């Protein structure tokens, strides 16, 4: 009996993870102290990375709290993480007003260096939470996930701010993956990126690299592509080459050259990309651009997004679509009063299938849809322009009054938005009460977009409901509504009540 008890205890001991430890780091600490309490905090990141010569070594399962009043700096890589460790720069504080612990580059490193390098994998999630990463305008990428290693996986980046690669050359706010790097299971949420010379956040695979199951949620990206010394695509999100399963949801992107760029180039094709419930506005050239150099199928689902004020340069569009790809554009709302080179939605070539259904496109100075060769598959869209052509399709043009001659399921009258103040982001917490921070694009009770959409079995959510505690699926009423919002009359937590408020739910998760 004693032997059996010993075996049970031994089994439980071997099957449980090692005991985790908690450590502290602060300016003015002591690297020879234990680090296990604020009063014995370490001073330097070098001590956090020490692997020999000390009793306390940081390993997977441990948590390291950085005093959020502190700053740590260095050449190129300031912090290189250990797989499975949580690095927290926002929870622990001494006294002061600084919101996040700062990691600051002081000298330019190599092309594959980043201020924070996250590499390797563990069954325990590696967490980087609550840091400000300042690239200091000196030529370094802010945060690299698998950027300078062969692999990285099981990673959460939360509530970090990354900025100032301005005019620094070919450097980025954040890079996930790169050459000869296999990266998977990465979540980036509640972060902000701005003032970058090139892309703010990107999943960018060069030769031999791959990335899968990558989620960007509730990030704010702005003022990207501001370099005056280098070229490049200058976008909020870049998804390039060999990626499978990148999802972007509830992000706010503004004041970039391009909001989102999907690029099939020399080293593979982005596939199974999902772009949903984002707000993309005031990007000077394009809201979303597909660039298909390889001619392969860039499978993409785009639904429930809000676009306004993009292509202010007049050179491009809100959506610029490629050939040779299967792309679903469902239940988005596009509002544009700029003078555009062709139209708000531009289909340049064929060879694949672009399904365009249940979208609202409202323009004043340009067509809503410009299909250069009749490549678009479409139904149940509301396309409104008070005067002038609303649609140009394979050489034929239609005003909103003539829209049913183009498609007998189309609607050509004004959508009757709630109006007021245009949204600038999201309010609330995802999974609880997250909605756009104003109701400008919400439908009113008499909107012609209400209950006139096509039923789309796999796409049942809306921007005003998928982030709620209890998502409610389309339709609310007799049929799907057209546009990013679904109309309802009962308020959910986090939203305003009364006429025009909205119930909604999720779709593919």
CA angle 113–119–124, rounded 5-degree value: 155
Q: Is the pLDDT of residue 9 over 60?
A: no
Evaluate if residue 374 carries a pLDDT over 70. yes
Is the model's pLDDT at 8 over the cut of 80? no
Please report whether residue 48 resides in a domain.
yes
pLDDT over 60 at 232, yes or no: no
Q: Residues in the chain, how many?
A: 509
Domain-embedded: residue 11: no
What's the rounded Cα separation, in Å, for the pair 503 and 486? 6
Could you tell me if residue 53 is inside a domain?
Answer: yes
**pLDDT class for 168, splitting at 50, 70, 90?**
low
Question: How many folded domains does the chain comprise?
Answer: 1
Mean confidence (pLDDT) of the chain: 89
Residue 409 inside a domain? The answer is no
Sheet holding 467-468, edge to edge: 426-427, 433-436, 467-468
Which residues sit opposite 24 in a β-bridge?
A: 65
pLDDT at 508 over 90: no
Any domain includes 356: no
Please give the residue range of the domain that contains residue 101. Answer: 20-171
Per-residue model confidence (pLDDT) at position 58: 97
Q: How far apart are CA 458 and CA 479, in angstroms?
A: 15
User: Residue range 474-497: average pLDDT?
Assistant: 74
Q: How confident is the model at residue 501 (pLDDT cuts 50, 70, 90)?
A: very low
Q: Residue 191 burial by CB count (10 A; 0-12/13-18/19+): exposed, middle or buried?
A: buried
What predicted TM-score, i.e. pTM, was given to this entire model? 0.92
In a domain, residue 324? The reply is no
Q: Are 151 and 183 in contact (CB under 8 A)?
A: yes
Close Cβ partners of 496 (under 8 Å, ≥ 6 residues apart): 439
Residue 82 lies in a domain: yes
Q: How far apart are CA 133 and CA 217, in angstroms?
A: 19
More confident residue, 6 or 103: 103
Q: What is the DSSP string of 38-84?
A: GGG-B--HHHHH--SSSS----TT-EEEEPTT-EEEEES-SEEPPTT
Assign 507 a pLDDT band (cuts: 50, 70, 90).
very low
Asked whether residue 57 is assigned to any structural domain, the reply reads yes
At residue 348, the pLDDT reads 84
Two tokens, residue 407: 């498609």
List the one residue out of 315, 313, 246, 306 whose CA is nearest residue 281: 306
How many Å is the Cα radius of gyration of the chain? Answer: 25
Lowest mean pLDDT among 40-44, 447-451, 487-491: 487-491
Res. 472: pLDDT tops 50: yes
């Amino acid at each position: 009996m004693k032997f059996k008890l010993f075996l049970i205890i031994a089994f439980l001991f071997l099957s449980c993870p090692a005991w985790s430890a908690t450590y502290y780091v602060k300016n003015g600490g002591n690297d020879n102290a234990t680090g296990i309490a604020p009063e014995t905090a370490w001073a330097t990141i070098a001590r956090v990375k020490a692997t020999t010569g000390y009793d306390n070594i940081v390993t997977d399962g441990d948590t390291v709290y950085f005093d959020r009043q502190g700053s740590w700096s260095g050449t190129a890589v300031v912090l290189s993480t250990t797989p499975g460790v949580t690095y927290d720069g926002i929870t622990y504080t001494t006294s002061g007003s600084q919101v996040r612990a700062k990691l600051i580059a002081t000298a330019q490193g190599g092309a594959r260096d980043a201020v924070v390098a996250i590499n390797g994998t563990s069954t325990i999630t590696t967490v980087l939470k609550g840091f400000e990463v300042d690239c200091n305008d000196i030529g370094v990428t802010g945060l690299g996930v698998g950027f300078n290693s062969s692999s990285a996986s099981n990673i959460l980046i939360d509530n970090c701010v990354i900025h100032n690669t301005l005019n620094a050359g070919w450097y980025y706010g954040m890079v996930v993956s790169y050459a000869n790097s296999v990266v998977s299971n990465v979540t980036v949420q509640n972060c902000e990126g701005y003032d970058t010379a090139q892309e703010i956040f990107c999943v960018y695979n060069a030769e031999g690299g791959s990335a899968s199951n990558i989620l960007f949620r509730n990030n704010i990206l702005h003022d990207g592509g501001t370099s005056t010394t280098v070229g490049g695509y200058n976008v909020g999100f870049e998804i390039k080459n060999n990626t499978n399963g990148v999802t972007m949801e509830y992000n706010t992107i503004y004041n970039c050259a391009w909001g989102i760029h999907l690029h099939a180039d020399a080293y593979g094709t982005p596939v199974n990309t999902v772009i949903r419930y984002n707000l993309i506005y005031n990007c000077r050239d394009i809201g979303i651009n597909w660039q298909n150099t390889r001619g392969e199928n860039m499978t993409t689902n785009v639904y429930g997004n809000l676009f306004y004020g993009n292509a202010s340069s007049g050179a491009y569009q809100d959506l610029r679509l490629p050939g040779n790809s299967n792309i679903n554009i469902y239940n988005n709302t596009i509002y544009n009063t700029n003078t555009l080179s062709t139209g708000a939605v531009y289909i340049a070539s064929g060879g694949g299938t672009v399904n365009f259904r249940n979208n609202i496109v409202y323009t004043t100075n340009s067509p809503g849809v410009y299909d250069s060769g009749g490549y678009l598959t479409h139904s149940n869209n509301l396309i409104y322009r008070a005067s002038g052509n609303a649609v140009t399709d394979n050489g034929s043009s239609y005003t909103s009054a003539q829209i049913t001659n183009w498609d007998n399921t189309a609607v050509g009258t004004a959508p009757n938005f709630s109006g007021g103040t245009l949204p600038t982001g999201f309010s609330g917490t995802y999974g609880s009460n997250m909605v756009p921070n104003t109701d400008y694009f919400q439908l009113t009770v008499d909107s012609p977009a209400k209950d006139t959409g096509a039923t789309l079995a796999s796409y049942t959510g809306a921007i005003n409901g998928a982030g709620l505690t209890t998502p409610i699926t389309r339709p609310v009423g007799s049929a799907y509504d057209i546009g990013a919002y679904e109309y309802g009359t009962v308020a959910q937590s986090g939203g305003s009540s009364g006429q025009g408020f909205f119930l909604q739910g999720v779709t593919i998760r």
